Amino acid sequence: MVLKANRLRKLALAPVLMLLSLASAGVLAAGGKVNQVNMSPGATEIGQSIFDLHMLIFWICVIIGALVFGVMFYSIYYHRKSRGVTPSTFHESTKVEIAWTVVPFLILIGMAVPATSTLLEIYDFDDAEMDIMVTGFQWRWKYEYLNEEGENVVFFSSLRTPQSEIRNAEAKGEHYLLEVDEPMVIPVDTKVRFLVTANDVIHSWWVPELAVKKDAIPGFINETWTRVSTEGIYRGQCAELCGKDHGFMPIVVNVVSKEDYAEWLDEKQAQAAQVSELMAQTFTLDELMERGETVYDRNCLACHGANGEGGVGTPIAGSPIATGDIDAHLEIGINGVPGTAMQAFGSQINNVEMAAVITYQRNAFGNNMGDMVQPIDVYNHKQGQGEN
């Protein structure tokens, strides 16, 4: 019996020991490491305060836990019937009850004070030096730089990990599922305010090392901010279940020096100017097909299949839409099909891309319609519906 109880005691202590190991290992880990066991203080002041708060409460819990479990296991060991003890009969004590109501209450106040001050800091949105609008889509992020200099900088940021890695056909890369085609770029030591919203369902923009998590809610704009003190690449993910590919819409934030940021901004603006020139051009079928394939692979493939065979979405190959009225086809591309997974892509891809992808769908996968859509047609279609 003695042996048995000993074993019980040891095994039941295991979680406490695991908790302690968490504490000691936690100090060593930082920055999304392999087998990281604790929160990271990250690269911001707020992140550090949250981390300190987390560790404070953690240690308070460990101490209370050690006391409670200590008393309990002492009792389990010494107050066993097999040791021939006779049970006491005491069963109440108002004084003790009051004590263990009041003392925890005081401890809670001790936790509430630093928690309140950190919360107030987080809620201080004033004096932001720049604003970025973050919009969640199924299943990618759109970043829009709202400052005057950044007027024309708008882009989508989507998962870059290829399906072949996800389907285990190829070895997985170092940043498997945490890599995007185009990261958000922000300057170091700058208070950046994020205006967070969504286009379809609720998403949540979470970058652990920036200590930012804010729900992106369709129809509402939430505020949050960060000021990153160390240059580097920070990775996060959507944190709110948003449908099929919730696990596949990562966030990458590239924090660079202020000079590099200015340079990047210039480059993006030049690109934007180029795109607006393209809008006025007329393309040949081959040009549109070439562009369309890229657009298709990025936007349509996940649901409609690599060969237009369908999947979550309807098939494109031989479909009545892609081989039917061209305006109706364009309408679906721009405004989607409400109530289904087919989104309104009109606001997600530009007119050149829209023209290219509609043309591509009508002429690829054996559809061979031979007709095409020009950027100007997309523009006119959008105008015709009064730019909703």
Partner 1 sequence: MGDHHHGPAKGLSRWLFTTNHKDIGTMYLWFSFAMFILGGSFAMIIRAELFQPGMQLVDPAFFNQMTTLHGLVMVFGAIMPSFVGLANWMIPMMIGAPDMALPRMNNWSFWILPPAFLILASTLFMEGGAPAFGWTFYAPLSTTYAPPSVTYFIFSIHVLGLSSIMGSINIIATVMNMRAPGMTYMKMPMFVWTWLITAFLLVAVMPVLAGAVTMMLMDIHFGTSFFSAAGGGDPVLFQHIFWFFGHPEVYIIILPAFGVVSQIIPAFSRKPLFGYDSMVYATAAIAFLSFVVWAHHMYTVGMPVAGELFFMYATMLIAVPTGVKVFNWVSTMWRGAMTFETPMLFAIGFLVLFTIGGFTGLMLSIAPADFQYHDSYFVVAHFHYVMVAGAVFSMSAAVYYWLPKWCGRMYNETMGKTHFWISFIGFNIAFFPQHFVGLAGMPRRIPDYALQFADFNMLSSIGAFIYGASQILFLYNVVATIVAGKPTSEEKTWDGAEGLEWTVATPAPYHTFETPPQVK
* Site for partner 1, residues 298 to 337, rule: CB under 8 A: 312
Binding to partner 1 by CB under 8 A, coded x per residue (else -) over 4-33, reads xx--x--xx-xx--xx--x---x--x--xx
- Number of residues interacting with partner 1: please give it, by CB under 8 A: 112
By the 8 A CB rule, do 76 and 11 touch? no
Q: Which is nearer to partner 1, 150 or 236 (CB)?
A: 236
Distances (CA, A) of 282 to 166, 270, 287, 356, 374: 38, 21, 10, 11, 6
Name the region of 368 (left: φ>0; alpha: ψ -120 to 50; beta: rest): left
Q: Which of residues 204-263 bind partner 1 (CB under 8 A)?
A: 204, 206, 208, 211-215, 217-220, 222-223, 235-248
Smallest gap from Cβ 264 to partner 1, in A, equals 26
Which strand (E) or helix (H) includes residue 111? helix 94-122
Q: Which of residues 163-202 bind partner 1 (CB under 8 A)?
A: 165-168, 172, 174-178, 196, 200-202
Q: Locate 196 and state its tokens.
A: 């967070």
Smallest gap from Cβ 156 to partner 1, in A, equals 19
Contacting residues for 56 by C-beta, under 8 A, at least 6 apart: 111, 114
Maximum C-alpha span of the chain? 97
Q: Which is nearer to partner 1, 215 or 377 (CB)?
A: 215
Stretch in the footprint of partner 1 (CB under 8 A) among 159-167, 270-278, 324-332, 360-368: 159-167
Binding to partner 1 by CB under 8 A, coded x per residue (else -) over 262-301, reads ----------------------------------------
Q: Which is nearer to partner 1, 136 or 308 (CB)?
A: 136
* Partners of 145 in beta bridges: 132
Pick from 3, 286, 338, 386: which binds partner 1 (CB under 8 A)?
338
The C-alpha atoms of residue 350 and residue 332 are separated, in whole angstroms, by 15
The C-alpha atoms of residue 272 and residue 267 are separated, in whole angstroms, by 9
| 388 scored as a contact of partner 1 (CB under 8 A) | no
The C-alpha atoms of residue 210 and residue 373 are separated, in whole angstroms, by 43
Smallest gap from Cβ 63 to partner 1, in A, equals 11
CA torsion through residues 279, 281, 285, 289, sign: negative
Smallest gap from Cβ 127 to partner 1, in A, equals 17
Q: Which is nearer to partner 1, 64 or 280 (CB)?
A: 64
Please state the three-class secondary structure of 235-302 as a single string. Answer: EEEECCCCCCCHHHCEEEEEEECHHHHHHHHHHHHHHHHHHHHHHCCCCCHHHHHHHHHHHHHHHCHH
Binding to partner 1 by CB under 8 A, coded x per residue (else -) over 63-102, reads -xx--xx-xx--xx--xxxx--xxxxxxxxx--xx--xx-
Q: Which is nearer to partner 1, 153 or 242 (CB)?
A: 242
Smallest gap from Cβ 30 to partner 1, in A, equals 10
By the 8 A CB rule, do 233 and 183 touch? yes
Distances (CA, A) of 213 to 20, 53, 222, 239, 341: 28, 17, 11, 8, 26
| 3 scored as a contact of partner 1 (CB under 8 A) | no
Pick from 23, 48, 57, 131: which binds partner 1 (CB under 8 A)?
57
- Give the strands of the sheet with 212-216, arranged side by side: 184-187, 250-256, 232-238, 203-207, 212-216
Q: Which of residues 108-147 bind partner 1 (CB under 8 A)?
A: 108, 111-112, 115-116, 118-120, 122-123, 138
Q: Which is nearer to partner 1, 93 or 368 (CB)?
A: 93
Smallest gap from Cβ 86 to partner 1, in A, equals 6
